[in-house]
Structure 1
Amino acid sequence: MRILFLFVGEKHHVFHALPIAGEMAARYPDLDIEIAIAGPENDALVRDVLNCFPGFTPTIRYLDLPGPADALHKWGVLRGQQRITRLIAALPYLRGFDAIVVPERTTTMIRHFLGSRTKLIFTPHGAGDRAITYDKRDRLFDFALVAGEKSERRMLELGTIRPGAYAVTGYVKMDFMQRLAAHRPPLFDNGRPTVLYAPHFRSSLSSWDRFGKAIIRAFAAQDRYNLVVAPHIRLFDHAPARVTAPIEAMAVPGKIIVDLSSERLVDMTYTAGADIYLGDVSSQVYEFLNRPRPCVFLNAHDADWPDNPDYLFWTLGDVVSSVADVLPAIDAAAERHPLYAARQCQILSDSIGGDPTGASARSADAILHFLEEKAKAGRKAASR
């Protein structure tokens, strides 16, 4: 059986799916597993994963853009269209697999061109609360992995998954990151608590445009906390230096880290190393809550959030609506954390399926069970 793990989206998707391939190879050594990635920009993250699975040396293929399309992409003409262009160009290659595992939904656009042999399998790249997590394109997958019971309930209600065509397996990225966290040095060496500010990338939801620079200036003017500014990697994706350089210049050595583009934005370095979370609607809060800790949330758009399931994570800490309230809320966060700690554990368990340990192995088993059942059904139908 040939199985492809396909990565044509943002590089942070790698940690949400590739550990499944490593576990699959260890548990089912007779499988033919390959990896296809958009280009060399994903190499480092792919190697980070493969290094944790000794003996797993899969074929890795770049899905290059066709010549004219590559030129248009370099000129900025195809921005936003590279994924589907790569997929269409790679169709003869993709049709050669029994299953393709993907952590994004653009691949569903070629679903009907793959043929009945090739099963398309989805693994999520987050466990957030917002409605964007629940996408009607999920219906086009033959099989889906679901992080936790919260997502299972909402996806069944919305009809984006079907009974018998999914499995609740846990949060793969968090499972994998537990292997790496123990070897990381502290973010700062001054003994002060560290606050992680992690704004969302979408301007209609993010706190960055309204509060971002003012928050950095407020932390620069005090000496009680360190600050890490680590937005979702898409916030400044493709931003020119004239935009990013003045923000990066606001960093203060030994006190404020401003990271707008490094791999540490996606490998849980900051969510694992901080003491207090400051954010808006990013699902990164669930990665931070792998260990329950104080949270403060920013309502930058006057959202009417109580009782709205898209803002469930705002019930896990205090919510403020102005920069002036940020530091007082941070000062009170540790003392107020007992008010939220039990709920953090409850919501986290519901979101990622409890203890994430073993999520990659459970996902590998679920995928193989589904494929074997489909193969048996096919053989039975052929024998009639």
Structure 2
Amino acid sequence: MRTIGFSLIGGSHQFLHGLPVAAALSRRSGVVVEVFVVSDADADRAREMLNAFGAGAVEVIVLRLPRFVERAARREGAAAPLKTLRLAWWSMRMRRCTTIVALERTSALLARLPGHCPPLIQIPHGVGGARRAGGNGVDGRFSAFDLALVAGEADRRSTIDAGLLPAERVQVVGQIKLSGLNRLGLLQRKRLFANARPTILYNPHFHPRRGSWEQFGRALIDALGQDRAFNLIVAPHVRLFADASASEREALEALGDPDWLIIDTGSSRSMDMTYTLGADIYLGDFSSQLYEWLIFPRPCVFIDQVGDGGAGDTKLPEMWSMGETVTSFPDLLRALSRASVSHSDYRHRQSALMHDAVGDFRELADEVAADAIVAFLDARQL
């Protein structure tokens, strides 16, 4: 009997990139699936998703720390779930698995700790998984994994070209999140406002240098509130407000107006493509959510607040070639006003880059990934 562990320590916004595969594996004979998470809330969400994907029996394990450590972290207001400490504390238990699948690179720590470590498999949570955000090059921790299952040919090339893994250890399986949601019949566009105005999705990143919220966020809300030519959804990366208190989140979301404005600081709707499917114009600095947005090619406007064109980054120039890129707030408002008309200039490139990045999202990527994991274990006679 093989035990396949899923290290889901990065937060519930990553779950859709791995749990469809866990569900597929749980239906295979001779396989036991264990899922490791960092909180009771994440455990509840994981069980909910596994049930939706028709999983067999899966044990969901919360990587709890001693109570005094958890209490001290809460007193300090630690937003990060102490991922490294949890991995170290639970490493012996986790490394009993035949193999461990991770959606982030912090789990590479398991290979560096003393003692035996089973093979590690990486499924990047999104597109561009070998890179670091915001111009910090590639992530060397990728090399600690024995196999990478990537969304498309673009990520396979970049992982190999960066010297992170050899070609035989990088396999294209498709975009698992898109495949899973498509399997559930959830990739349908639905309007989110009861009017005919075009809807902008503003999706700022949490990156301290590249993220545009601090410089542009409130000004954008104020300007569009006065103009009322557009509806607006403000749905940042869920980590942007991870450090905010409940009262701070509530005060910001209270600015919403059902006639034209939704502000979501991190609900499940920020993760399940409700907003990327329901809007008409994408506005952001950078995010792998762009590749979810473009399953239906639509206008994009990008914010380069640094003004360097993404120099030194492995992904930004490509992203920003799929729509008009601006560096100032007046230019941003003008770009939004012409985005629908100018979209024809970018549609062909959007389609070509999307095919390279994720292939056909209608393919059963979860089953392809499950097959790849089983074949990998067979080859190693594990």
TM-score using structure 1 length:
0.91
1:186 alignment partner in structure 2: 191
Question: What corresponds to 1:22 in structure 2?
Answer: 23
Residues 349 and 355, structure 1, Cα contact 8 Å, conserved in 2: no
Q: 1:268 aligns with which of 251, 269, 273?
A: 273
Equivalent position to 2:242, from 221, 237, 240: 237
State the partner residue of 1:208. 213
Preserved contact between residue 103 and residue 122 of structure 1 (Cα < 8 Å):
yes
Report the secondary structure of 2:206's partner residue: coil
TM-aligned CA distance change 1:308 to 1:69, over 3 Å: closer
Instruction: State the alpha-carbon separation in 1 of the partners of residues 188 and 351 from structure 2.
Output: 25
Question: Which region of structure 1 is more displaced relative to structure 2, 92-101 or 130-139?
Answer: 130-139
Distance in 2 separating the partners of 1:91 and 1:128: 28
| 1:331 corresponds to | 337
CA–CA distance in 1 between the matches of 2:78 and 2:264?
27
Q: Distance in 1 between matches of 2:129 and 2:227?
A: 33
Structure 1 counterpart of 2:165: 161
Find 2:324's aligned residue among 315, 318, 321: 318
Deviation larger for 317-326 or 192-201: 317-326
| Structure-1 residue corresponding to 2:149 | 145
Conserved? CA contact 1:236–1:260, under 8 Å: yes
State the match for 1:349 in structure 2: 355
Check whether the contact 2:193–2:258 (CA below 8 A) recurs between aligned residues: no
Residue equivalent to 2:203? 198
Aligned partner of 2:297 among 281, 292, 296: 292
By how many angstroms is 1:203 displaced?
A: 1.8
Distance verdict in 2 for CA 1:142–1:131, change over 3 Å: closer
Aligned residue in 2 for 1:40: 40
RMSD over aligned Cα atoms: 2.3
Of the structure 1 ranges 32-41 and 302-311, higher mean CA displacement relative to structure 2 is found in 302-311
Q: 1:39 to 1:373 in 2, by over 3 A?
A: same
- The residue correspondences of 1:89-104 to structure 2 (distance < 5 A) are 89-104=89-104
* Counterpart check, 1:175 vs 2:175: no
Match of 1:380 in 2: none
Q: Is the 8 A contact 1:220 1:252 kept in 2?
A: no
* 1:285 partner amino acid: L
- Residue 4 of structure 1 pairs with residue 5 of structure 2: yes
SS in 2 for 1:164: helix
What is the alpha-carbon distance in structure 2 between the residues aligned to residue 95 and residue 86 of structure 1?
Answer: 13
Q: Distance in 2 between matches of 1:248 and 1:307?
A: 35
The runs of 5 or more residues in structure 1 that have no matched partner are: 377-384
C-alpha spacing 1:251/1:78, structure 2 compared with 1 (3 Å): closer
Taking a change above 3 Å as real, the CA distance of residues 325 and 85 of structure 1, as seen in their structure-2 partners, is same
1:253-291: CA deviation from partner (whole Å, max 9, x where unpaired) = 221001112111111111111111011112211111111
- How far the C-alpha of 1:362 sits from its partner, in A, is 1.1
- Aligned amino acid, residue 3 of structure 2: R
Partner of 1:125: 125
CA distance in 2, matches of 1:308, 1:50: 35
- The offset of 1:245, in angstroms, is 4.3
CA 1:4–1:82 in 2, change beyond 3 Å: closer, same or farther? same
Name whichever of 77-86 and 15-24 sits farther off.
Answer: 77-86
Contact preservation (8 Å) 1:95, 1:115: no
For residues 181 and 266 of structure 1, the distance between their equivalents in structure 2, rounded to whole angstroms, comes to: 12
Range with bigger deviation, 64-73 or 271-280: 64-73
Q: Is the 8 A contact 2:26 2:57 kept in 1?
A: no
Aligned length: 375
Distance in 1 separating the partners of 2:330 and 2:237: 24
Q: 1:160 aligns to what SS in structure 2?
A: coil
- What is the SS of the residue equivalent to 1:175? helix
CA–CA separation in structure 1 for the residues paired with 2:247 and 2:51: 36
1:64 equivalenced with 2:68 (yes/no): no
The structural deviation recorded for 1:44 is: 4.5
User: Greater shift after overlay, 139-148 or 303-312?
Assistant: 303-312
% identical aligned pairs:
34
Indicate how the Cα distance of structure 1 residues 320 and 184 shifts in structure 2: closer, same or farther if over 3 A, else same. closer
SS at structure 2 position matched to 1:90: helix
Q: Deviations over 1:127-148 (max 9, x none)?
A: 1489416311011111111121
Paired with 1:189 and 1:117, the residues of 2 have a C-alpha distance of 54
Taking a change above 3 Å as real, the CA distance of residues 357 and 49 of structure 1, as seen in their structure-2 partners, is farther
Secondary structure class of the residue paired with 2:381: helix
DSSP-derived class of the 2:64 partner: coil
Aligned to 1:108: 108
Distance in 1, matches of 2:78 and 2:311, equals: 40
Q: Which runs of 5+ in 2 are unaligned?
A: none
Q: Secondary structure at the match of 2:353?
A: helix
Shifted more, 347-356 versus 96-105: the winner is 347-356
Name whichever of 301-310 and 10-19 sits farther off.
301-310
- Which residue of 2 is the match for residue 379 of structure 1? none
Aligned-partner residue type, residue 334 of structure 1: S
Mapped partners of 1:139, 1:284: distance in 2: 24
- Greater mean deviation of Cα atoms: 210-219 or 53-62: 53-62
Task: State the shift of 1:77 in Å.
Answer: 6.9
Question: Match for residue 31 of structure 2?
Answer: 31
> Is the CA contact (8 Å cut-off) linking 2:190 and 2:277 kept in structure 1?
no
1:212 CA drift (Å): 0.7
